[in-house]
Amino acid sequence: MKLKIPDYFSKIKPYVPGKPVEEVQREYGIDNPIKLASNENPLGPSPMAVGAIRRAIAKLHRYPDAGGYELIQSIAEKNNIAPENIVLGNGSDDIIALLARVLLRPDDEVILPQPSFLFYEISILTSGAIPVWVPLKSFETNLAGMLRKISPKTRMIFINVPHNPTGTIISRHDFEEFIAEIPPQIVIVLDEAYIEFVRESNCANSFEFLRTDKAIVGIRTFSKAFGLAGLRVGYGVMPSALAELLHRVRQPFNVNTLAQVAASAALNDTEFLQKTVDLVHNELEFIYGVLEKLEMPYIRSQANFFMVKVGDGRTADEVFENLLKQGVIVRSLTSYGYSEYIRVNIGKHEENIRFLEAFEQVI
Whole-angstrom distance, CA of residue 340 vs CA of residue 315: 5
Q: Residue 16 has what pLDDT?
A: 64
Domain 47-267 has CATH 3.40.640.10: yes
Of the candidates 313, 306, 331, 322, the one whose C-alpha atom is nearest the C-alpha of residue 357 is 322
Q: Are domains 18-44+271-362 and 47-267 of this chain identical in fold?
A: no
Question: What's the pLDDT score for residue 313?
Answer: 86
Tell me what pLDDT residue 118 has. Answer: 87
Task: Supply the pLDDT for residue 264.
Answer: 97
Per-domain boundaries in the chain: 18-44+271-362, 47-267
HEC profile of the chain: CCCCCCHHHHHCCCCCCCCCHHHHHHHHCCCCCEECCCCCCCCCCCHHHHHHHHHHHHHCCCCCCCCCHHHHHHHHHHHCCCHHHEEEECCHHHHHHHHHHHHCCCCCEEEEEECCCHHHHHHHHHCCCEEEEEECECCECCHHHHHHHCCCCEEEEEEECCCCCCCCCCEHHHHHHHHHCCCCCCEEEEECCCHHHCCCCCECCHHHHCCCCCEEEEEEECCCCCCCHHHCCEEEECCHHHHHHHHHHCCCCCCCHHHHHHHHHHHCCHHHHHHHHHHHHHHHHHHHHHHHHCCCCEECCCCCEEEEECCCCCCHHHHHHHHHCCCEECEECHHHCCCCEEEEECCCHHHHHHHHHHHHHHC
CATH code linked to domain 18-44+271-362: 3.90.1150.10
pTM score, two decimals? Answer: 0.92
Count other C-beta atoms under 10 Å from residue 213's C-beta.
8
* 10-residue stretch averages of pLDDT, the chain, 363 residues long: 67 66 68 91 97 96 95 96 97 96 96 93 94 97 98 97 97 96 96 97 93 92 97 97 96 95 97 98 98 96 97 92 93 93 97 96 92
Q: How does pLDDT run across 29-56, given as a tens digit for each residue?
A: 677 889 999 999 999 999 999 999 999 9
Strand partners, 113: 134
Cα separation, 197 vs 301, in Å, equals: 9
Q: Which amino acid is at 244?
A: E
